[in-house]
Amino acid sequence: MGVGGVAVFPADTVYGLACDALTRLAVERLYRLKRRRLEKPSAVMFFDVELALAALPELRPRTRGALERLLPGAVTLLVPNPAGRFGLACGEDPATLGVRVPVVPGLDGVKWPVLQSSANRAGGPDARRLQDVPEPIRRGADLLIDGGELPGTPSTVIDLRRYEDEGTWSIVRIGGADEATVTAALAGQFHFDPVSYPDMIREDIPVYDVLQDELVLASGESALRVLELGTGTGETARRLLARHPGARLIGVDASAAMLAAARASLPAERVELRVAAIEAPLPDGPFDLVASALCVHHLRGAAKRDLFGRIHDTLAPGGLFVLADVVVPVDSADAVTSLSPGFDHPSPLPDQLRWMGEAGFAWARVTWSRADLAVVVAERSGALGTI
């Protein structure tokens, strides 16, 4: 990189071409190899999130938070570039920079930002294996790094240029990162800050602790394998572990920041925390108990129904699903929990009970409700059928 060389390297998506991001001659060589016009943008790639954040000091707090949530991973983030940094990667628009931080074991110690583009001819197919990289590109490059077979799907390109001021973003190209995970990470950004969350949620839901206690009460006794969806800062998990002293819990949440707070307060030997959207495949079961508090209402109706089916399938026979959440109340005067359009999608209780039935649960019933909050428990049929 230091003498203007061009490398073919494995990213976490497809094979890429990289060169020093600040050396014009190297960039021109890279573009020539690809037969890409110089006015077309590429992206700057870091191999460490901290280095990326340090190199872009003009990023404002929300955008910076979005980078912290989405990186590293199979995404290219288009961010405002008021200082015109890494201009050679910007094509004709120096005010916009594409940023990538891939997960590439073996390259994660690399401290040098590179300008990168996919290792193909402009408009040609992406290279999944080193031998798929067009021969003239391989011949023209100075270094070839063989990383074996890659996923073959390019990065998801997300436009974050209006995120700071308007809270909006768009997916320019869907790729390796699915839309649900991106949406959960970006929408949650505005709502869930692990430091203010405990006070914020109790102010918004005065019966928050009662709701948690009722969930735990409905969760049976002596579960050993517990899955929690939307673990957040770990408030529900902590109570579940106390109620089920022999249990190990897997917690899933789209927010790495919330899970970091949970990790700090939960016993590491009993808990495994995973950053993922609940719309993505659930961890492998079987589980004795699946629990979720104040998370499932972030899904629209059809996605809830799909989730209930997947929860049913991941439960052991006789296993319980306990849901504590905000719902659409029968009387609209009971709709007291504050909701954000586009982010909160509560459904009426009868719909949710029906979806549980359609998912295959033997029975489902409401064990507690207050205004627009409810706790529902459903059981998967036992091995010998239903009583």
Ligand X SMILES: C[S@@+](CC[C@H](N)C(=O)[O-])C[C@H]1O[C@@H](n2cnc3c(N)ncnc32)[C@H](O)[C@@H]1O
**Binding stretches for ligand X (CB under 6 A):** 184, 188, 192, 201, 230-232, 235-236, 253-255, 258, 277-279, 293-295, 298
Residue whose CB is less far from ligand X, 131 or 340: 340
Residue whose CB is less far from ligand X, 34 or 305: 305
Bridge-based pairing state of the strands 96-100 and 75-80: antiparallel
Alpha-helical runs (H) found in the chain: 24-34, 49-55, 61-70, 135-140, 163-166, 179-191, 197-204, 208-217, 235-243, 256-265, 301-314, 349-359
| Beta carbons of 190 and 66 less than 8 angstroms apart | no
Q: In angstroms, what is the minimal distance from the CB of 373 to ligand X?
A: 11
DSSP 117: E
Q: Which tokens sit at 315?
A: 């439960």
Surface-to-core class of residue 385, CB atoms within 10 Å of its CB (0-12 exposed, 13-18 middle, 19+ buried): exposed
Q: In angstroms, what is the minimal distance from the CB of 278 to ligand X?
A: 4
Q: In angstroms, what is the minimal distance from the CB of 376 to ligand X?
A: 15
Residue whose CB is less far from ligand X, 184 or 353: 184
Q: In angstroms, what is the minimal distance from the CB of 187 to ligand X?
A: 7
Residue whose CB is less far from ligand X, 145 or 303: 303
Residue whose CB is less far from ligand X, 86 or 208: 208
Q: In angstroms, what is the minimal distance from the CB of 328 to ligand X?
A: 17
Closest-by-Cβ residue to ligand X is 232
Residue whose CB is less far from ligand X, 18 or 185: 185
Q: In angstroms, what is the minimal distance from the CB of 192 to ligand X?
A: 5
